[in-house]
Amino acid sequence: MSESVALSPALGSFLARAHEGEARELLARQGLPQRRLEAWRYTPLRDVDRIGFEPPAHVSLGEAEALLARLAPEARSGFRVVFVNGVLVPELTRLPEAVILTAPDAPLLADRPLSVLNSALQQPGLSLTVPAGVEAGQICLVSLVSGEEPVSTHLAHQVTLEKEATLTLLDIQSGEGAYLANPSLTVSVAEGAHLTHLRVQQDDVRATNLTLVNASIAEHGTYDSFTLTLGSRLSRHEVLAHLGGKHATVHVNAAQLLAGTQHADLTSVITHAAPDCNSRQTVKNVLMDAAHGVFQGKIYVDRIAQKTDGYQMNQALLLSEKAQIDSKPELEIYADDVKCSHGATVGALDDEQLFYLRARGVPYDTAKAMLVRAFLLDALSLVTDEAAYALLDQRVEAWWLNREG
């Protein structure tokens, strides 16, 4: 067993609160991930290591209601589960009768630093099961944090869809203040079931968001996800998707819109462990000022996974000379009858297209917005639910107007 790492302010504060057990021991030995780990070379947590995080304060029901109205207006009606500062707010939570709340059982992934951190300080989050054949409609999962002092939350969520069940999960993460949000979501999609997971990350620009999604998809099951990243000073969205049955499908699509000195990392590992499975990943980045985007995507095809169809594309639009993108798509293939491809492109706004619009009387700012929207369309159009698309589109428009204004 190797010796423990140096006790940084962050590590010291985490260990003081950590649950006894394997996760705490791993956290003490490994610390927070830094550049020496290949998977974290673009997103080391040096700045996070320098902060001592405390448990968040209790928030009254009135304060929780006000936060919900300000930060997640889309969730004011319909079914929802609301967490504020890492604690469920039952008075603001409404679930359909068919959905069953279950005991959390999130696994510890020892080789994943985000899983180790979450497991060591784990707080019980949403844990539900949609029974076989049930169409559960849409449920909004709202996770809000409020605190001027550096605080951290570590919610562990679990969603299970039984055979041929369906659910749309609208996952909104937001807050006010300087904080660390470190949620994990374990997803299990049974045979013929379909989960649509729409995630909006719009945390405070002083905050850090480290999210891990671990999804298992069975035969003829589908996990269809889209992440819109707008917030946080530093964020990482890590997706592990395991296609374990024939004709399983996974979509891990995203758009990252960053300004100032924001840093956002989307890392995915999609494992094809059964034949005749499909995976699709389209990630668009719009980067302004000195923002930094990261994409690391890996498609792994097992020997048994013949007839695999995997596609991965990362594209970045740089709106400033100081903006930068690190893109690292990968294929690791051990089967011989597959169709897999990946690619990455980086560019700026097309001067000829701008000139064309300006020559027809379109103001510069409007022309610029039109071209950015057209660039994002390929990603946003992958969201087929009209209401969800409208929500994402509104958030993108508000973000753009705020930056341009």
> Is 303:274 a contact under the CB 8 Å cutoff?
no
Domain boundaries defined on the chain: 9-348, 349-405
From CA 199, how far away is CA 397, in angstroms rounded? 17
DSSP per position, 225-252: EEEEE---SEEEEEEEEEE-STT-EEEE
Per DSSP, the three-state class of 174 is: strand
**Tokens representing residue 63 in the block:** 């304060």
Burial group, residue 91, by CB count within 10 angstroms (0-12, 13-18, 19+): exposed
From CA 52, how far away is CA 338, in angstroms rounded? 48
Please name which of 173, 241, 177 lies closest in space to residue 210, comparing C-alpha atoms.
173
The mean pLDDT values, 10 residues at a time, for the chain of 405 residues are: 76 97 96 94 95 95 96 92 96 91 86 97 95 96 93 97 97 96 98 98 97 98 98 98 98 97 98 98 97 98 98 96 96 96 92 88 87 89 89 90 73
pLDDT at site 2:
47
pLDDT at site 335:
97
Calculate the alpha carbon distances from 263 to 36, 158, 235, 267 in Å: 18, 27, 6, 13
pLDDT at site 405:
54
The CA R_g of the chain, rounded to the nearest whole Å, is 21
**Tokens representing residue 36 in the block:** 């020496």
pLDDT at site 400:
87
